[in-house]
Structure formats: structure tokens, C-alpha cells
Structure 1
């Protein structure tokens, strides 16, 4: 134990090891934060949710931070509503149970590109007589544009860009630019805009609530995809999924391979022969093809794929490598001493043979994690990822299916790809440093 402790202390002498540990600790912290901030059930609900969950988000919107690197600013998204006070609402009682409602929202528009869409989500309560509203749009140059007059049902959606009467009034097929531009020059007008809504209710308990949503050109820290989903959810939750898959696969494969090699070496005979024949057969099996068949014909569950990955990765060339080393350890004097005082076979295998291999096991275990992380992402890219879990590979699959590179949505692929590369780099640097520490032949490299 002291030698292992001293070996890990030696990591501090290797800059690559320090950087690798920082990356790994950051990934672990991100994984813990994701599971606390977005519980599993919420993550699944958000990832599998449709318009009813993500209606406030624009489609195909890059992250908002690109405005810091662009001379021309893209319109950001926002949503306000009367129910939570972010949009003003005043109700004035009238005669015979009637009432009038006025609501407004004022905002500064200082961007160089128009929003994608403006939407009103209306809801009302009534028994027989529907409430009525009038919507007006005030521009920085003093113009007042009447948008629409309509009776409000219990739930109703009004999209500015789809109103044919508004198109006729503004004499354009593209409503959104017309609302933000000078009608004579067509130049975008920056400044303070105001949405005014006045309404009338004709029953004592009747009420009107409004939600105003502006779908901008950019959104959030990570952007959105074709289903309006905020990509920060799969980016965050992809971290614990990737680490769990990579660490479990690497740990399970490394430990089981070493144990099986130790058992075969110690007992010899038909046990060793059986292990070697299974290994030789497994070496010629197409690993990825088998996983693709399992995902296609049986199950795409990440746990099924993980189990199959471990099973197919046990009987590899590593068994032969461990076997050759165990043959040397088997003839050591301390093994002879253990035999002399009557130690049982399991005791010798698990307390004398295997512990001697732990220094060789640790670097390989750490270095193997990226390979399994990339494997999970590769299967997801092929459409064989877990259909429930949000993962980095699923983001890339969706981006590829929607032509992200061809349509200029580079963020959609670069974000998960960067996380995959950082994960691989962190574990690789840490694994190489551990290899130099535990392997005497590499200490001077």
C-alpha cells in the first residue's frame, strides 16, 4: 500500500498528469452537478419532450455567446408572461361583471438580425362569452401598428408571421422584418419596442393571461436543435453517462481479464486450455459488428451494450500478456513459501498473484476509458445509442441526421465533439503518466 501511495504522489512531478487529473476532476464535478441540477427523471422528460416542453426555444439556434465574437449581433430569445409578473397586467372592473385588461411589455432591441418568430400564447377562463383582445405594436420611431383583434378561447396560439391579414396590412410576406424595419427604407430600426394588449371580459370570473415569446437567432449557453431542445441538457447529462460507461467497461474488462488469466495460469490443465481457446476464438470475432447486431436485433439499452462490451473485451490479447507475467510470478519464492505453509489455491490466486499485477493494471485501466467512451458515442452515431438517455453521441447523431455541417450549424457537432476529445485527452495524459510511474522502463521517457 505504501508503494502505491508513493507512486500516486509521484504524479505531482508530471505536468501531463496534473493536467489530466484536472480534466478528470472537472468531468467528475460536471457529472455530479448535472445529476443534482437536473435529476434523472427531469433529464429524460426534457430530452424526450416535444413542443409542449420546449415551445419557448427557437429551432437551430446557436449559443448566445457567439455574439461576443461577432461584429453583428444576433437577436436573443426571451419569454415573458402575465402570470409571473414579467409582463405587466392591470384589470379594471366594469359594470355588470365585465372587466377590462391592459397588458404591456417594453424591451430594447439592439441587434443586427431579426428574431425568427414572435408568438402570443393566450389562455382565458369563461363560461359562455369569450373574452376579446386587441394587440398593438409600438416602434421606436413612434408608429403604432394594430396587429390583431380576436376572441380568446381557453387556449390559443397566435403567430405573428402566419397572420395573412397582418401580411396584407404590412404589404409583405415576411412579417417579422416588417415589424422591426422602416417601411420606406427597409432598414432595421434599433431602439425600444412595446407590445400593448388590451382586452375585455364579459363575465364576473372571466380572466385573460398572456405569454409573449420571441424566438431569437441565438439561445442559451449551448444552443438548440431541430426539436427546440436546449443542448445544455444532453451536454451536461452526457458527462455522467460517458464516465459511467467508460469507467465501468474499463474496470470490468481489466479486472475480469486479470482474474481469468490468473486462474488459468495457476490451475493450468484444461482450465487454461479452455481460456486460451476462447481467447483465440474471440480474437477473430468482429467486435463492432457484433455490437451493431445486438443493438439492431436485440436491445439498444446502454446496460445491454455495456454488458456485451465487457464480455467481448475480456478474452483479448491482454489475457495472454497477463498469462506470461503470471507464469513468472508463479515461480517466485514467496509463492513457494505460501505453498509450504499450506495456503489454499484461491488464497494464492487472490492474495499473492493478483496483487502483484495491480501496478500494471491501473495505467491500462485509466488509459482504456476513452476507448469505451468513444465506442458508446460511435454506436450512438450509428443510430444504436440508448433511445432514452441524452448522450454526446446522440447529439452528434441528431446533428448528422439534420445536416448540421451542410447547413452551418457547426456548434451542434463541435460542442459534443470537444467534450469527447477533452475526455480522451484527460484520461490519456493521466494514463500515460501512471504508466511511466508504474513501469520502470518508462520512467526516463
Structure 2
């Protein structure tokens, strides 16, 4: 543990991993769209967002008057006016712009509630004068609000007036969706989906898939490698022939063919990865287990009647676990890269949000041609950052396992050279 703490790369990887895990766990609290995972491909869910706009931080003092920020304004308590003959009006006022010179704004008026709602929409200019923009009779129902698209030039504010019948009170307050030229921390794609939300959702899948598959594949390789070394004979021969078969088979083309023939699934990819990636740990573990089984404490255990099972998984396995942790950490980036490669080719699981799926959508929908850099860079950078994180973590575990160049693994007992 002290060697790991002294490793700058290992501690850097640990801090980055903790940061990524924190973002993944706090994802529902960070993203502006809580149900985006279930509605990623639902057009209606994203209908109020602007399409293919950059993030809000590209809006600075030099272009603040040209780029309007997207957002939502919710109406508060209305101002009520009663008529002499009964009934009256409920008026909501929305402030739209604080700029010295109001810009042209595209917005969507959302009217909720239930029943028929006669509404008058007016814009307010610099001089305070109101100009009628639209007059509509909306028929709305619960869960199905009415929407009215508006385009205003030079408006400071917007007033929404609902006419009330005698004895009728103001119902649900309307809201306004500002369709600006910038939106969110990382912008939106051409399908109006929030990129930052997709990045956070993809992070959770990347960590889950990478860590789980890496753990299973490395533990499988360790168990099979120790078994081949400690049992020997036909077990050794059979496991080495199986290893050679899977090690010599090209992984990516095989995954592409299976993904094209069968329905793509993230869990199917995990199963295929388990079938192929265990070979990365098998041969090193096999060679080290052959060395460890000749140690003095192994021979001592054998002399007092310890069977092959006990010698393999009580004596040899604990000595190889630190190496296994290093291989696990170093295997995670490769698994994430393979999934991203499959998804970029259009053969991934389209029902979940992954970084590879986001890159595929970006390439197919012309993000490169249209220079939508905010759609391409974040998924790619997150894949790189995650890979660097686990690479640094693996190097830290390697220092724990082999602090000195040329050192060889030993068990808990004394080596034969020391007896």
C-alpha cells in the first residue's frame, strides 16, 4: 500500500477514478434531463430544446448580444383583473432580455391545464408599449399541453393574458421555452439532445461495463492459468490449446460479424469479451504459477498432505492477486475502446447511451462536415480520460507488484534460494 501511495501515477489515477465515480453516482442530480436514459431516442422528449447549438460558455462579452441563451421561464402568480359583468383576466409577464439592445428571440409558449383556454400574447418593447402577437383558443388536456412557436424582434418582455369566465379562476401558469443559440454545458446535437446528459449517462455504462468485464476476464484468466500450472498433464495441454485458439483469433472482426448477424446488445458484447479477453491474463499467470509452485513453502505444504486444489488456490492464488489487480486496471481501457469501436460502426446496442453510440450518431448525422465540434470532442475526450485513468492506476499496481526491475513473484513463504 505504501508503494502505491508513493507512486505519483497510481495516486493520480486513483483521484481521477474517484472523480469519475462521483460524477457517475451523482449523475441524476447533475444532468438537466432526469429521464433522458429512457427517452434518448424519443423526439417528443427533446422537442423544446434547440438543435445543434454550442455550449453556453462560448457566449462571452464579445458576442453576448448575438447569442441568446436557451432556457425555460415558468410563470408565477398572475395579476388578476375583474370585469364589471363577471369574469376577468389573468396576466402573466415574462422578462425576456436585459441586453442594451434586445435581440431576435425564438421561443415556444407552453399552455397546460385542461379544457379550453382563450389566450392573448403580447410583446413589450423598449418604450413599454404592448404589441399583440397572437390570439388563440387552446384546447388542452392533462399531460398534453398546447405549444405555440413565436419569433420576436426587439422584445423586452412578453405578456400572456387568459380570459376568464364568471366564477372561473386562473388555472395552471403557462411557461416559455427560449430556443437560443447556445444551450447547456456541452451544447446539443441535431436531434436536440443534451450532450452533457449523454456524457454522464455514458460514463456510468463505461465504468460498469469496463470494470465488470475486466474483473471477470482477468479472474477467469488467473484461475485457468493457475489450474494449468498446478494440475499439469492433460489439463495443462487442453487449457493451452484452448488459449492458443482464442488468442490467435482476431477479436474485432469476430465481434463485428457476430454483432451484424445477431441483435446488438451490451450484455452480448460483455459475454463475447469474456470469451476472448481472458487470454490476456492466462499466459503471464501460467508462467508465474509454474515458478511459484516450486517455492519452498509450496513444497512444504505438499509434504504435509496439501492437495492440488489447496496448493493452487490457497498458496499460489494470493501471490498472484496483486498482478491481477494491475491487469484488471490496464484491461478496462481496451474494453471501453472495443465497445466504442463496435458502436461507431453502427453495431452497438442502440437502447443504451454510450460514448461510442454518441460518436456513431455524430458521424452519421454530419457532425464532422457541419463542424459541430462540441458533439464529437466530449465523447472522444472522455474515452481518452477514462483510458488514462485506468492506465495510471494499473501502473501504480504494477509498482506494488514489481517495485524493482527484474524482481520475480514470490509467495508468502521463503523462497528455495533462501532456505
CA distance in structure 2 between the aligned counterparts of 1:368 and 1:317, rounded to whole angstroms: 9
Q: What is the aligned counterpart of 1:153 among 133, 139, 162?
A: 139
Which residue matches 1:44? 37
TM-score (norm 1): 0.81
Q: Structure 1 residues 410 and 96, CA, compared in 2 at 3 Å: closer, same or farther?
A: same
Q: Secondary structure at the match of 2:69?
A: coil
Gaps of 5+ in 1: 1-7, 162-175, 181-191
Tell me which moved more, 292-301 or 230-239. 292-301
Whether the 8 Å contact between 1:77 and 1:214 is mirrored in structure 2 is: yes
Residues 250-289 of structure 1 deviation map (CA, whole Å, 9 limit, x = unaligned): 1111111111011112222222211111112112222112
Paired residue for 1:105, among 89, 94, 97?
Answer: 94
TM-score, structure 2 normalization? 0.86
Listed as ranges, the gaps of 5+ residues in structure 2 are 408-419
Equivalent residue runs for 1:313-328 within 5 Å: 313-314=277-278, 316=279, 318-328=281-291
Kindly state the Cα deviation for residue 26 of structure 1 after the two structures are TM-superposed.
0.7
- What pairs up with 1:239-258 in 2 under 5 angstroms? 239-258=203-222
2:126/2:156 contact within 8 Å kept: yes
Q: Deviations over 1:7-26 (max 9, x none)?
A: x2112323222222111111
For residues 357 and 124 of structure 1, the distance between their equivalents in structure 2, rounded to whole angstroms, comes to 65
Give distance in 1, aligned partners of 2:206 and 2:130.
54
Deviations 1:15-47 (A, max 9, x none): 222222111111111122126767x99352343
CA deviation string 1:46-79 (max 9, x = no partner): 434432x3333211122112224x7212210122
**Stretch moving more, 274-283 or 225-234:** 225-234
Separation in 1, partners of 2:224, 2:337: 26
Give the paired residue count: 400
Partner of 1:67: 59
> Quick check: which one's helix share is greater?
1
Q: How big is the shift at 1:346?
A: 1.0
State which of 365, 377, 380 in structure 1 corresponds to 2:328. 365
Q: Please tell me whether the aligned partners of residues 323 and 397 of structure 2 are also in contact (alpha carbons under 8 angstroms).
A: no
Task: Indicate conservation of the 8 Å contact 1:291/1:308, yes or no.
Answer: yes
Deviation at 1:199, TM superposition (A): 3.3
Residue 435, structure 1, aligned to residue 388, structure 2: no
Does the aligned pair in 2 maintain the 1:367–1:428 contact within 8 Å? yes
Whether the aligned pair in 1 keeps the contact of 2:3 and 2:399 (CA below 8 Å) is no
Partner residue in 2 for 1:164: none
What is the CA RMSD across the aligned residues, in angstroms?
A: 2.8
Maintained 8 Å contact 1:125/1:206: no
Aligned match for 1:227, one of 177, 188, 191: 191
Distance 1:193 1:285, change over 3 A: same
Relative to structure 1, the CA distance from residue 26 to residue 346 in structure 2 (aligned partners, 3 Å threshold; closer, same or farther) is same
The match for 1:308 is: 272
